[in-house]
Amino acid sequence: MLTLYFLAQIFALFCGWPVVLFLRFHCPDKFWRLRRRLFADAALAGVARRDNHPRIWLHALSVGEVSSALPLARAIRERFPEAFFVVSVSTETGEKFARQALADTTDLILPSPLDWLPLVRRCLRHLRPDLYIQVETDFWPGLLFSLRQGGIQALLVNGRISAVSFARYQRLRFLFLPMFSCFSMLAMQTGADRDKMLALGIPSARLPVPGNLKYAADKPAISGQALAALLPPSCRLWLCGSTHAGEEEIIFAAYRQLRCCFPDLFLFLAPRRPERSDELIRLAAKHGLTARLRSCPDAGNSASTDFLILDTIGELAACYFLADAAFIGGSLVTEGGHNPLEAAWAGKPVLFGPHMEDFAEIAADLIAIGAARMVTNATELATALTAILVDPVSEQQMGAAALAFVQTKRQGVLDGHLETITTLLAAKPINK
């Protein structure tokens, strides 16, 4: 299979040159990102190796996966202080976030190498990892099969399988089962995720269920003064986090309804992709709303604008602590939803749409304990938020239930993951 994959890569390389040239002249940022990933091994070529100490490579796809991995990365550093610890990230925004959040935790942060077999082999030859840890998703055959051929332990952490993904894995089982079999262990978030892996043919002994790493997230360091200074005085704050195209129009429509009854309400909008900020400013203007950017606090003032756009990386979790209520994006459109635990950890009432497939169990649990409500359109969104804003007792009860839920669930999650990591490192001699 690996030979066929390599031949397909060669074919794609020859056919893909027009795309590369287009990126070079029309999307230079994407071209240089591609170039950095194509030469990712250069960052590893000169690294000083620490003999007799483990070498650990942790890989995450983007901001969400890096955020999930933060508590684990810090726990790894604490448990293995002498390890050479490398983190790779696929997306540019994810890498920027990792550099901010893990600068003091890791030895090296780099863009993930493209899954081009010669490049992957060079990276493994330079790094010689004892353990490869992959967070949640971003499966690449070349890397996974190369790890198995090299006898390198591989661990999937925070593993999850949505209904859509499970159907695809079953349909293409001949491809995905060999890839998943490259992992020494697949640590799943829930028993339901484990059952899906069992159905695909993974042995039960390789499927621990230590829980969801997102429960183990630490409270963020809050720069309350800096953020609060951007808000109108004595306002009530509605924070909409990780929104996608198609959702903001619904949010703006609900916001215009709400401000008729709650003139002190102020919207703090955090798009999933900060580079969409200019697009959102134009969209808001169509709804008669004006906006400022978090990155440009001097562009207007809180009294002259209707809402604030969070166009920075790494501040969303802290912003939830300033909010009175939160909406979780990616849920009113078919994006699978985003992590509601950051808002729950801040002790805030949580709202989201019907498309929380990627966090289905968490969403159901939050609804069941009265910490969250599901909405489907602008009217329902405005109605749900109105119910929260007019009843301070209900707001406090929802927030308290959300916080208690996270505090209960987070116990033991890190210990379970560290136990698996320690077992895998001990299974293979450090000096290869």
Q: Active-site residues: which are they?
A: 65
pLDDT at 9: 62
**Looking at 51-55, 61-65, 127-131, 403-407, which range is the least confident one?**
51-55
Task: Give the span between the Cα atoms of 190 and 209, in whole angstroms.
Answer: 6
The crossing angle, in degrees rounded to 10, of helices 173-180 and 141-149 is: 40
pLDDT at 295: 87
On whether the CB atoms of residues 239 and 320 are closer than 8 A, the answer is yes
The answer to whether residue 294 scores a pLDDT higher than 80 is yes
What integer is the mean pLDDT of 155-165?
Answer: 90
Tokens (6 digits) for 368: 């069941």
pLDDT at 228: 75
Distance of CA 289 to the CA centre of its chain: 30
Identify the H or E element spanning 44.
Answer: helix 42-45
What integer is the mean pLDDT of 153-172?
Answer: 92
The answer to whether residue 79 scores a pLDDT higher than 80 is yes
* DSSP conformation class of 132: E
**Which pTM value belongs to this model?**
0.76
What integer is the mean pLDDT of 121-135?
Answer: 92
Question: Residue 432: pLDDT band by 50, 70, 90 thresholds?
Answer: very low
In the chain the domains, ranked by start, together with CATH numbers, are 2-217+411-427 (3.40.50.11720), 224-409 (3.40.50.2000)
Question: Residue 244: pLDDT band by 50, 70, 90 thresholds?
Answer: very high
* DSSP conformation class of 218: P
Tokens (6 digits) for 317: 């979790």
Question: Residue 42: pLDDT band by 50, 70, 90 thresholds?
Answer: confident
The answer to whether residue 34 scores a pLDDT higher than 50 is yes
Dump strand ranges (E) for 12-169: 55-60, 84-89, 108-111, 131-135, 153-159
pLDDT at 431: 45
What integer is the mean pLDDT of 205-225?
Answer: 82
Question: Residue 163: pLDDT band by 50, 70, 90 thresholds?
Answer: confident
More confident residue, 12 or 310: 310
Query: What Cα–Cα distance (Å) separates residue 411 from each residue in 75, 216, 374, 414, 425?
Result: 14, 8, 27, 8, 24
Identify the H or E element spanning 229.
Answer: none
Tokens (6 digits) for 387: 């119910």
pLDDT at 14: 61
Task: Give the span between the Cα atoms of 78 and 74, in whole angstroms.
Answer: 6
N- to C-terminal Cα distance for the chain?
26
Task: Give the span between the Cα atoms of 400 and 404, in whole angstroms.
Answer: 6
**Looking at 45-59, 119-133, 134-148, 337-351, which range is the least confident one?**
45-59
The answer to whether residue 260 scores a pLDDT higher than 70 is yes
Dump strand ranges (E) for 244-314: 265-271, 291-293, 307-309
The answer to whether residue 38 scores a pLDDT higher than 90 is no
Task: Give the span between the Cα atoms of 423 and 432, in whole angstroms.
Answer: 17
More confident residue, 10 or 218: 218
Task: Give the span between the Cα atoms of 39 and 159, in whole angstroms.
Answer: 29
What integer is the mean pLDDT of 235-258?
Answer: 96
What rounded mean pLDDT belongs to the chain? 88
Cβ-Cβ contacts under 8 Å for 13 (sequence gap 6 or more): none
What integer is the mean pLDDT of 342-365?
Answer: 94
Tell me: the pLDDT tens digits for 392-417? 999 999 999 999 999 888 878 999 99
Tell me: the pLDDT tens digits for 358-402? 888 899 999 999 999 999 999 999 999 999 999 999 999 999 999
pLDDT at 377: 97
